[in-house]
Structure 1
Amino acid sequence: MSITVFSGDTSGPVLYTVNLPEDGNCKDLIQALGYTCFLKDNETLYVVKVYADQVLHLDDTLAISLIRDCDRVIAYRLLTDEADLPLLTFVHRRLE
Structure 2
Amino acid sequence: MWAAGSPALNQCNQAAGRPSNRGETVWYAASHYRGKVQTQISGGAWVTWDCNGHECSMSGPWGNDLSVESCRNLAAKVGRISAYSNSAGAEWRSGSRELTSCNAAAR
Normalising to structure 2: TM-score of the pair? 0.28
- Which of 1 and 2 has higher RCO (CA within 8 Å, sep 6+)? 1
Normalising to structure 1: TM-score of the pair? 0.30
Write 1 or 2 for the structure with the bigger share of helix: 2
